[in-house]
Amino acid sequence: PMRRRDFLKQSSLAAAGAAAARPDWSAFSQNPTVRLGFIGVGLRGRSHLEQVLYRPDVTVTALADVDPDALRQSNEMIRKSGRKDAAVYSGERDFEKLVLRKDVDAVIVSTPWEWHAPMALAAMKAGKYTGLEVPAVLTLKEAWELVETHEKTGTHLMLLENVCYRRDVMAVLNMVRQGLFGEMLYAHCGYQHDLRPVKFNDGKQPYGGGAEVGPQGMSEARWRTAHSVNRNGDLYPTHGIGPVAEWLNINRGNRFTALASMATKSRGLHKYIVENGGENHPNAKVTFKLGDIVTTSIQCQNGENVVIVHDTNSPRPYSLGFRAQGTKGIWMDDGDQIYLEKTSPKHDQWEPFAPYQAKYDHPLWRKFEKDAENAGHGGMDFFVVRAFVESVKRKWPPPIDVYDAVAWSAVSALSEESVRKGGALVEFPDFTKGKWSSRQPVFALGEEY
Protein backbone atom coordinates (compact mmCIF):
# COMPACT_ATOMS: atom_id res chain seq x y z
CA PRO A 1 0.00 0.00 0.00
CA MET A 2 1.05 3.54 -0.63
CA ARG A 3 2.49 5.23 2.41
CA ARG A 4 0.55 8.15 3.77
CA ARG A 5 3.16 10.71 2.73
CA ASP A 6 3.05 9.39 -0.82
CA PHE A 7 -0.69 9.35 -0.63
CA LEU A 8 -0.74 13.05 0.22
CA LYS A 9 1.84 13.85 -2.41
CA GLN A 10 -0.17 11.99 -5.00
CA SER A 11 -3.34 13.81 -4.15
CA SER A 12 -1.75 17.21 -4.44
CA LEU A 13 -0.06 16.22 -7.69
CA ALA A 14 -3.39 15.14 -9.07
CA ALA A 15 -4.86 18.37 -7.78
CA ALA A 16 -2.14 20.40 -9.49
CA GLY A 17 -2.88 18.55 -12.72
CA ALA A 18 -6.53 19.53 -12.67
CA ALA A 19 -7.77 22.69 -14.35
CA ALA A 20 -6.68 26.08 -13.08
CA ALA A 21 -10.20 26.87 -11.89
CA ARG A 22 -9.52 25.04 -8.61
CA PRO A 23 -10.31 27.29 -5.68
CA ASP A 24 -7.50 27.76 -3.18
CA TRP A 25 -7.07 25.75 0.01
CA SER A 26 -6.99 28.62 2.46
CA ALA A 27 -10.68 29.27 2.00
CA PHE A 28 -11.32 26.09 3.85
CA SER A 29 -9.03 26.49 6.78
CA GLN A 30 -10.85 29.79 7.42
CA ASN A 31 -14.22 28.26 6.90
CA PRO A 32 -14.43 24.62 7.88
CA THR A 33 -18.19 24.42 7.45
CA VAL A 34 -19.38 22.72 4.29
CA ARG A 35 -22.61 24.14 2.90
CA LEU A 36 -24.53 21.42 1.13
CA GLY A 37 -27.38 21.47 -1.35
CA PHE A 38 -29.46 18.33 -1.81
CA ILE A 39 -31.02 17.43 -5.15
CA GLY A 40 -33.54 14.65 -4.52
CA VAL A 41 -34.62 14.00 -0.95
CA GLY A 42 -36.58 10.79 -1.35
CA LEU A 43 -35.63 7.74 0.70
CA ARG A 44 -31.94 7.81 -0.21
CA GLY A 45 -31.52 11.58 -0.15
CA ARG A 46 -33.02 11.74 3.35
CA SER A 47 -30.75 8.94 4.52
CA HIS A 48 -27.72 11.02 3.39
CA LEU A 49 -29.32 14.07 4.99
CA GLU A 50 -29.58 12.24 8.30
CA GLN A 51 -25.87 11.37 8.11
CA VAL A 52 -24.69 14.90 7.35
CA LEU A 53 -26.89 16.36 10.08
CA TYR A 54 -24.88 14.36 12.65
CA ARG A 55 -21.84 16.39 11.62
CA PRO A 56 -21.13 19.75 13.24
CA ASP A 57 -19.15 20.90 10.20
CA VAL A 58 -22.04 20.74 7.74
CA THR A 59 -24.97 23.04 7.07
CA VAL A 60 -27.68 22.30 4.54
CA THR A 61 -28.64 25.45 2.71
CA ALA A 62 -30.86 24.30 -0.17
CA LEU A 63 -33.07 21.39 -1.18
CA ALA A 64 -34.59 20.52 -4.56
CA ASP A 65 -37.28 17.89 -5.01
CA VAL A 66 -40.44 17.72 -7.09
CA ASP A 67 -42.29 16.10 -4.18
CA PRO A 68 -43.41 18.76 -1.65
CA ASP A 69 -43.78 16.13 1.05
CA ALA A 70 -40.13 15.08 0.65
CA LEU A 71 -39.12 18.74 1.02
CA ARG A 72 -41.30 19.15 4.10
CA GLN A 73 -39.93 16.02 5.78
CA SER A 74 -36.36 17.09 5.03
CA ASN A 75 -36.73 20.55 6.48
CA GLU A 76 -38.32 19.00 9.54
CA MET A 77 -35.17 16.89 9.97
CA ILE A 78 -32.99 19.97 9.51
CA ARG A 79 -34.99 21.92 12.08
CA LYS A 80 -34.86 19.04 14.58
CA SER A 81 -31.07 19.07 14.28
CA GLY A 82 -31.09 22.68 15.51
CA ARG A 83 -30.37 24.26 12.13
CA LYS A 84 -32.49 26.71 10.24
CA ASP A 85 -34.66 25.65 7.30
CA ALA A 86 -33.02 25.20 3.92
CA ALA A 87 -34.30 27.07 0.87
CA VAL A 88 -36.56 24.82 -1.20
CA TYR A 89 -37.01 24.30 -4.93
CA SER A 90 -39.84 22.19 -6.31
CA GLY A 91 -39.75 22.57 -10.08
CA GLU A 92 -38.46 19.76 -12.29
CA ARG A 93 -35.50 21.85 -13.51
CA ASP A 94 -35.09 23.95 -10.38
CA PHE A 95 -31.86 22.07 -9.64
CA GLU A 96 -30.38 24.45 -12.22
CA LYS A 97 -31.15 27.33 -9.86
CA LEU A 98 -29.97 25.48 -6.77
CA VAL A 99 -26.52 24.84 -8.21
CA LEU A 100 -26.01 28.56 -8.84
CA ARG A 101 -26.45 29.54 -5.18
CA LYS A 102 -23.40 31.12 -3.61
CA ASP A 103 -24.16 29.49 -0.25
CA VAL A 104 -23.82 25.99 -1.72
CA ASP A 105 -20.29 24.51 -1.77
CA ALA A 106 -21.29 21.03 -2.84
CA VAL A 107 -24.34 19.03 -3.82
CA ILE A 108 -25.59 15.52 -3.20
CA VAL A 109 -27.73 14.09 -6.00
CA SER A 110 -30.11 11.23 -5.09
CA THR A 111 -32.73 11.23 -7.81
CA PRO A 112 -34.08 8.74 -10.38
CA TRP A 113 -31.29 7.41 -12.64
CA GLU A 114 -32.30 9.36 -15.73
CA TRP A 115 -31.64 12.59 -13.85
CA HIS A 116 -28.18 11.71 -12.53
CA ALA A 117 -26.07 12.87 -15.47
CA PRO A 118 -28.04 16.07 -16.27
CA MET A 119 -27.93 17.11 -12.60
CA ALA A 120 -24.25 16.25 -12.11
CA LEU A 121 -23.35 18.15 -15.28
CA ALA A 122 -25.26 21.24 -14.14
CA ALA A 123 -23.59 21.10 -10.72
CA MET A 124 -20.08 20.61 -12.09
CA LYS A 125 -20.50 23.39 -14.64
CA ALA A 126 -21.54 25.67 -11.76
CA GLY A 127 -18.33 24.67 -9.95
CA LYS A 128 -20.08 22.65 -7.23
CA TYR A 129 -18.29 19.58 -5.89
CA THR A 130 -20.75 16.83 -6.74
CA GLY A 131 -21.70 13.71 -4.80
CA LEU A 132 -23.69 11.47 -7.09
CA GLU A 133 -25.75 8.41 -6.26
CA VAL A 134 -25.35 5.22 -8.24
CA PRO A 135 -25.28 4.59 -11.16
CA ALA A 136 -23.66 7.76 -12.49
CA VAL A 137 -24.82 7.44 -16.10
CA LEU A 138 -27.15 5.48 -18.35
CA THR A 139 -25.31 5.97 -21.66
CA LEU A 140 -21.74 6.19 -22.93
CA LYS A 141 -22.48 9.69 -24.22
CA GLU A 142 -23.32 10.81 -20.68
CA ALA A 143 -20.18 9.09 -19.41
CA TRP A 144 -17.95 11.06 -21.78
CA GLU A 145 -19.80 14.27 -20.96
CA LEU A 146 -19.06 13.84 -17.26
CA VAL A 147 -15.38 13.17 -17.96
CA GLU A 148 -15.05 16.11 -20.31
CA THR A 149 -16.86 18.47 -17.96
CA HIS A 150 -14.59 17.45 -15.10
CA GLU A 151 -11.50 17.93 -17.26
CA LYS A 152 -12.69 21.30 -18.53
CA THR A 153 -13.92 22.80 -15.25
CA GLY A 154 -11.67 21.04 -12.71
CA THR A 155 -14.80 20.38 -10.63
CA HIS A 156 -14.82 17.04 -8.89
CA LEU A 157 -17.43 14.35 -8.87
CA MET A 158 -17.55 11.56 -6.32
CA LEU A 159 -19.67 8.50 -6.92
CA LEU A 160 -21.39 7.72 -3.60
CA GLU A 161 -20.78 3.96 -3.91
CA ASN A 162 -21.27 2.95 -0.31
CA VAL A 163 -20.53 -0.76 -0.78
CA CYS A 164 -16.87 0.06 -1.32
CA TYR A 165 -16.93 0.78 2.42
CA ARG A 166 -18.57 -2.49 3.46
CA ARG A 167 -16.57 -3.87 6.34
CA ASP A 168 -15.80 -7.30 4.88
CA VAL A 169 -14.90 -6.04 1.39
CA MET A 170 -12.57 -3.50 2.99
CA ALA A 171 -10.88 -6.25 5.03
CA VAL A 172 -10.51 -8.20 1.80
CA LEU A 173 -9.09 -5.09 0.12
CA ASN A 174 -6.57 -4.89 2.93
CA MET A 175 -5.66 -8.55 2.39
CA VAL A 176 -5.41 -8.11 -1.39
CA ARG A 177 -3.08 -5.15 -0.88
CA GLN A 178 -0.95 -7.21 1.50
CA GLY A 179 -0.72 -10.01 -1.06
CA LEU A 180 -2.52 -12.68 0.96
CA PHE A 181 -4.39 -13.92 -2.12
CA GLY A 182 -1.21 -13.86 -4.21
CA GLU A 183 -1.65 -12.41 -7.66
CA MET A 184 -5.32 -11.63 -8.28
CA LEU A 185 -6.99 -13.72 -10.99
CA TYR A 186 -10.71 -13.47 -10.61
CA ALA A 187 -13.56 -11.72 -8.87
CA HIS A 188 -17.26 -12.42 -8.72
CA CYS A 189 -19.90 -9.96 -7.63
CA GLY A 190 -23.38 -8.76 -8.41
CA TYR A 191 -26.62 -7.23 -7.37
CA GLN A 192 -28.72 -10.18 -6.31
CA HIS A 193 -31.67 -8.63 -4.55
CA ASP A 194 -35.34 -9.51 -4.86
CA LEU A 195 -36.61 -6.07 -5.87
CA ARG A 196 -40.10 -7.21 -6.85
CA PRO A 197 -41.71 -5.42 -3.87
CA VAL A 198 -39.66 -2.29 -4.72
CA LYS A 199 -40.53 -2.33 -8.41
CA PHE A 200 -44.20 -2.83 -7.48
CA ASN A 201 -45.16 -0.88 -4.39
CA ASP A 202 -48.66 0.37 -3.60
CA GLY A 203 -47.50 1.87 -0.30
CA LYS A 204 -49.91 -0.29 1.72
CA GLN A 205 -47.34 -2.68 3.18
CA PRO A 206 -44.24 -1.83 5.23
CA TYR A 207 -41.78 -3.49 2.81
CA GLY A 208 -43.50 -2.65 -0.45
CA GLY A 209 -45.37 -5.02 -2.73
CA GLY A 210 -48.59 -4.91 -4.73
CA ALA A 211 -48.83 -4.38 -8.45
CA GLU A 212 -48.65 -0.58 -8.74
CA VAL A 213 -46.03 1.43 -10.61
CA GLY A 214 -45.63 4.98 -11.97
CA PRO A 215 -47.66 7.76 -10.33
CA GLN A 216 -49.71 5.11 -8.42
CA GLY A 217 -46.54 3.61 -6.98
CA MET A 218 -44.36 4.54 -4.02
CA SER A 219 -40.72 5.67 -4.09
CA GLU A 220 -38.68 3.68 -6.64
CA ALA A 221 -41.82 2.03 -8.12
CA ARG A 222 -42.50 5.47 -9.60
CA TRP A 223 -39.47 5.37 -11.87
CA ARG A 224 -37.20 2.34 -11.45
CA THR A 225 -39.64 -0.22 -12.88
CA ALA A 226 -39.70 1.57 -16.25
CA HIS A 227 -36.04 0.58 -16.71
CA SER A 228 -37.08 -3.11 -16.49
CA VAL A 229 -39.66 -2.49 -19.23
CA ASN A 230 -37.31 -0.74 -21.63
CA ARG A 231 -33.83 -2.15 -21.04
CA ASN A 232 -32.09 -5.53 -20.98
CA GLY A 233 -28.67 -5.64 -19.38
CA ASP A 234 -27.01 -5.19 -16.00
CA LEU A 235 -29.02 -2.20 -14.77
CA TYR A 236 -27.29 -1.80 -11.40
CA PRO A 237 -23.64 -2.83 -11.53
CA THR A 238 -21.82 -0.47 -9.18
CA HIS A 239 -22.49 -2.11 -5.78
CA GLY A 240 -20.67 -5.17 -7.09
CA ILE A 241 -18.11 -3.77 -9.49
CA GLY A 242 -17.08 -0.86 -7.23
CA PRO A 243 -15.43 -2.90 -4.47
CA VAL A 244 -13.97 -5.30 -7.07
CA ALA A 245 -12.50 -2.35 -8.99
CA GLU A 246 -10.71 -1.31 -5.78
CA TRP A 247 -9.29 -4.83 -5.31
CA LEU A 248 -8.06 -4.84 -8.93
CA ASN A 249 -6.81 -1.21 -9.11
CA ILE A 250 -9.08 -0.41 -12.04
CA ASN A 251 -8.21 2.99 -13.58
CA ARG A 252 -5.07 2.93 -11.44
CA GLY A 253 -2.63 0.55 -13.09
CA ASN A 254 -5.33 -1.64 -14.59
CA ARG A 255 -8.52 -1.18 -16.58
CA PHE A 256 -11.56 -2.95 -17.94
CA THR A 257 -10.95 -3.82 -21.59
CA ALA A 258 -14.05 -5.71 -22.81
CA LEU A 259 -17.21 -7.41 -21.64
CA ALA A 260 -19.84 -9.89 -22.76
CA SER A 261 -23.32 -10.30 -21.27
CA MET A 262 -26.12 -12.82 -21.51
CA ALA A 263 -29.65 -12.47 -20.22
CA THR A 264 -32.18 -15.14 -19.31
CA LYS A 265 -35.81 -14.89 -20.33
CA SER A 266 -38.03 -12.50 -18.41
CA ARG A 267 -40.58 -14.15 -16.13
CA GLY A 268 -40.45 -12.84 -12.55
CA LEU A 269 -42.05 -9.41 -12.87
CA HIS A 270 -45.09 -10.52 -14.85
CA LYS A 271 -45.61 -13.45 -12.47
CA TYR A 272 -45.45 -11.08 -9.51
CA ILE A 273 -48.10 -8.75 -10.98
CA VAL A 274 -50.44 -11.64 -11.66
CA GLU A 275 -49.93 -13.02 -8.14
CA ASN A 276 -50.48 -9.62 -6.49
CA GLY A 277 -52.93 -7.81 -8.76
CA GLY A 278 -54.59 -10.63 -10.69
CA GLU A 279 -54.48 -11.56 -14.37
CA ASN A 280 -56.71 -8.63 -15.28
CA HIS A 281 -54.55 -5.97 -13.62
CA PRO A 282 -53.53 -3.43 -16.33
CA ASN A 283 -49.86 -4.02 -15.51
CA ALA A 284 -50.29 -7.71 -16.36
CA LYS A 285 -50.27 -6.60 -20.02
CA VAL A 286 -46.83 -4.98 -19.75
CA THR A 287 -43.93 -6.73 -21.48
CA PHE A 288 -40.65 -6.54 -19.59
CA LYS A 289 -37.47 -6.42 -21.62
CA LEU A 290 -35.14 -7.10 -18.68
CA GLY A 291 -34.05 -10.73 -18.40
CA ASP A 292 -34.48 -12.05 -14.88
CA ILE A 293 -30.80 -12.89 -14.50
CA VAL A 294 -28.12 -11.08 -16.51
CA THR A 295 -24.55 -12.36 -16.32
CA THR A 296 -21.62 -10.28 -17.51
CA SER A 297 -17.96 -11.29 -17.90
CA ILE A 298 -15.44 -8.48 -17.87
CA GLN A 299 -11.81 -8.76 -19.00
CA CYS A 300 -9.13 -6.65 -17.39
CA GLN A 301 -5.91 -5.31 -18.85
CA ASN A 302 -3.76 -7.19 -16.32
CA GLY A 303 -5.35 -10.55 -17.09
CA GLU A 304 -8.05 -10.83 -14.43
CA ASN A 305 -11.69 -11.71 -15.16
CA VAL A 306 -14.73 -10.46 -13.29
CA VAL A 307 -18.18 -12.02 -13.42
CA ILE A 308 -21.05 -9.80 -12.36
CA VAL A 309 -24.65 -10.90 -11.93
CA HIS A 310 -27.80 -8.77 -11.99
CA ASP A 311 -30.65 -10.71 -10.40
CA THR A 312 -33.58 -8.61 -9.14
CA ASN A 313 -36.81 -10.24 -10.38
CA SER A 314 -36.81 -13.59 -8.57
CA PRO A 315 -37.46 -14.84 -5.05
CA ARG A 316 -34.02 -15.08 -3.42
CA PRO A 317 -32.21 -13.95 -0.28
CA TYR A 318 -30.05 -10.85 -0.72
CA SER A 319 -26.40 -11.33 -1.63
CA LEU A 320 -23.88 -9.29 -3.55
CA GLY A 321 -22.10 -12.60 -4.21
CA PHE A 322 -18.56 -11.34 -3.73
CA ARG A 323 -15.61 -13.63 -4.39
CA ALA A 324 -11.96 -12.67 -4.54
CA GLN A 325 -9.54 -15.21 -5.96
CA GLY A 326 -5.83 -15.15 -6.56
CA THR A 327 -2.91 -17.53 -7.02
CA LYS A 328 -2.78 -18.26 -3.28
CA GLY A 329 -6.40 -18.51 -2.25
CA ILE A 330 -10.01 -17.49 -2.31
CA TRP A 331 -12.63 -15.64 -0.21
CA MET A 332 -16.35 -16.00 -0.71
CA ASP A 333 -19.02 -13.70 0.66
CA ASP A 334 -21.67 -16.46 0.39
CA GLY A 335 -20.82 -18.75 3.26
CA ASP A 336 -18.39 -16.14 4.61
CA GLN A 337 -15.49 -18.49 4.05
CA ILE A 338 -11.90 -18.45 2.97
CA TYR A 339 -9.17 -20.82 1.87
CA LEU A 340 -5.53 -19.80 1.69
CA GLU A 341 -2.98 -22.34 0.55
CA LYS A 342 -0.31 -23.10 3.19
CA THR A 343 -2.21 -20.96 5.72
CA SER A 344 -5.61 -22.64 6.08
CA PRO A 345 -5.23 -25.57 8.51
CA LYS A 346 -6.81 -28.26 6.33
CA HIS A 347 -5.95 -28.92 2.69
CA ASP A 348 -8.84 -28.27 0.33
CA GLN A 349 -11.21 -27.15 3.11
CA TRP A 350 -12.86 -23.81 3.78
CA GLU A 351 -12.37 -22.06 7.07
CA PRO A 352 -14.57 -19.30 8.52
CA PHE A 353 -13.67 -15.75 7.52
CA ALA A 354 -14.41 -14.22 10.96
CA PRO A 355 -10.85 -14.50 12.39
CA TYR A 356 -9.45 -12.93 9.21
CA GLN A 357 -12.06 -10.18 9.41
CA ALA A 358 -10.85 -9.40 12.94
CA LYS A 359 -7.17 -9.54 11.97
CA TYR A 360 -7.37 -7.56 8.71
CA ASP A 361 -10.20 -5.20 9.64
CA HIS A 362 -9.52 -1.97 7.74
CA PRO A 363 -8.00 0.85 9.84
CA LEU A 364 -10.89 3.18 8.89
CA TRP A 365 -13.36 0.71 10.35
CA ARG A 366 -11.26 0.19 13.48
CA LYS A 367 -11.13 3.94 14.01
CA PHE A 368 -14.70 4.95 13.19
CA GLU A 369 -16.66 1.85 14.19
CA LYS A 370 -18.62 3.73 16.89
CA ASP A 371 -19.43 6.68 14.62
CA ALA A 372 -20.73 4.33 11.95
CA GLU A 373 -23.12 2.60 14.33
CA ASN A 374 -26.28 4.54 13.49
CA ALA A 375 -25.69 4.74 9.75
CA GLY A 376 -27.56 2.75 7.13
CA HIS A 377 -26.50 -0.48 5.38
CA GLY A 378 -24.49 -1.77 8.34
CA GLY A 379 -22.49 1.43 8.78
CA MET A 380 -21.03 1.80 5.31
CA ASP A 381 -23.24 4.83 4.58
CA PHE A 382 -21.39 6.73 7.32
CA PHE A 383 -18.07 6.18 5.54
CA VAL A 384 -19.21 7.21 2.09
CA VAL A 385 -20.76 10.44 3.37
CA ARG A 386 -17.69 11.11 5.50
CA ALA A 387 -15.38 10.58 2.53
CA PHE A 388 -17.45 13.01 0.49
CA VAL A 389 -17.53 15.75 3.13
CA GLU A 390 -13.82 15.36 3.92
CA SER A 391 -12.97 15.58 0.20
CA VAL A 392 -15.11 18.71 -0.19
CA LYS A 393 -13.55 20.35 2.86
CA ARG A 394 -10.04 19.76 1.58
CA LYS A 395 -10.92 20.34 -2.08
CA TRP A 396 -9.19 17.06 -2.75
CA PRO A 397 -9.93 14.76 -5.64
CA PRO A 398 -12.39 12.21 -4.21
CA PRO A 399 -11.46 8.58 -3.52
CA ILE A 400 -14.07 7.43 -6.08
CA ASP A 401 -13.73 9.94 -8.87
CA VAL A 402 -15.37 10.70 -12.20
CA TYR A 403 -13.30 8.07 -14.05
CA ASP A 404 -14.36 5.39 -11.57
CA ALA A 405 -17.95 6.63 -11.66
CA VAL A 406 -18.23 6.28 -15.43
CA ALA A 407 -16.23 3.07 -15.84
CA TRP A 408 -18.28 1.28 -13.19
CA SER A 409 -21.60 2.67 -14.44
CA ALA A 410 -20.81 2.07 -18.13
CA VAL A 411 -21.15 -1.67 -17.46
CA SER A 412 -24.90 -1.07 -17.91
CA ALA A 413 -24.80 0.49 -21.38
CA LEU A 414 -22.11 -1.96 -22.57
CA SER A 415 -23.97 -4.98 -21.24
CA GLU A 416 -27.16 -3.79 -22.97
CA GLU A 417 -25.19 -3.58 -26.21
CA SER A 418 -23.73 -7.05 -25.69
CA VAL A 419 -27.11 -8.62 -24.90
CA ARG A 420 -28.56 -6.91 -27.97
CA LYS A 421 -25.77 -8.49 -30.03
CA GLY A 422 -26.45 -11.98 -28.68
CA GLY A 423 -23.69 -11.98 -26.08
CA ALA A 424 -20.97 -10.49 -28.30
CA LEU A 425 -17.75 -9.17 -26.82
CA VAL A 426 -17.96 -5.38 -26.54
CA GLU A 427 -14.90 -3.21 -26.15
CA PHE A 428 -14.69 -1.10 -22.98
CA PRO A 429 -13.85 2.56 -23.62
CA ASP A 430 -10.80 3.93 -21.81
CA PHE A 431 -12.37 6.94 -20.14
CA THR A 432 -8.99 7.92 -18.67
CA LYS A 433 -7.51 8.23 -22.19
CA GLY A 434 -4.37 6.37 -21.15
CA LYS A 435 -3.98 7.90 -17.69
CA TRP A 436 -4.97 4.59 -16.08
CA SER A 437 -1.42 3.34 -16.44
CA SER A 438 0.11 6.06 -14.26
CA ARG A 439 -2.74 6.88 -11.89
CA GLN A 440 -2.15 5.57 -8.36
CA PRO A 441 -4.64 3.96 -5.97
CA VAL A 442 -6.06 6.36 -3.38
CA PHE A 443 -9.14 4.66 -1.99
CA ALA A 444 -8.95 4.10 1.78
CA LEU A 445 -5.22 4.72 1.92
CA GLY A 446 -5.44 7.75 4.16
CA GLU A 447 -7.39 8.58 7.27
CA GLU A 448 -9.51 11.15 5.43
CA TYR A 449 -11.25 8.76 3.10
Contact set with ligand NAD (CB under 6 A): 39-45, 64-67, 70, 92, 95, 110-113, 115, 133-134, 162, 219-220, 222, 377
Pair type for strands 426-427 and 184-192: unpaired
Q: Is 440 helix (H, G, I), strand (E, B) or coil?
A: coil
First to last CA, the chain: 15
| Nearest residue (CB) to ligand NAD, 41 versus 180 | 41
Q: How far is the CB of 131 from ligand NAD (least distance, A)?
A: 11
| Nearest residue (CB) to ligand NAD, 173 versus 195 | 195
Q: What are phi and psi of 209, to 5 degrees?
A: 110, 170
Residue nearest to ligand NAD (CB): 42
| Nearest residue (CB) to ligand NAD, 166 versus 255 | 166
Cβ atoms of residues 57 and 34 within 8 Å: yes
Cβ count near 416 (within 10 Å): 23
| Nearest residue (CB) to ligand NAD, 37 versus 326 | 37
Q: How far is the CB of 199 from ligand NAD (least distance, A)?
A: 12
| Nearest residue (CB) to ligand NAD, 213 versus 407 | 213
| Nearest residue (CB) to ligand NAD, 114 versus 447 | 114
Q: How far is the CB of 113 from ligand NAD (least distance, A)?
A: 5
* Whole-number CA gyration radius for the chain: 22
- Pick from 272, 188, 189, 185: nearest CA to 228: 272
E strand or H helix at 384, and its extent? Answer: helix 380-394
Q: How far is the CB of 219 from ligand NAD (least distance, A)?
A: 4
Q: How far is the CB of 410 from ligand NAD (least distance, A)?
A: 16
DSSP label of 284: G
Q: How far is the CB of 150 from ligand NAD (least distance, A)?
A: 20
Q: How far is the CB of 46 from ligand NAD (least distance, A)?
A: 8
Q: Which residues of 214-236 are buried (b: 16+ CB within 10 A; e: fewer)?
A: eeebbbbbbbbbbbbbebbbbbb
Query: Which residues sit opposite 263 in a β-bridge?
Result: 294
| Nearest residue (CB) to ligand NAD, 41 versus 250 | 41
- Alpha-carbon distance of 357 to 347, in angstroms, equals 21
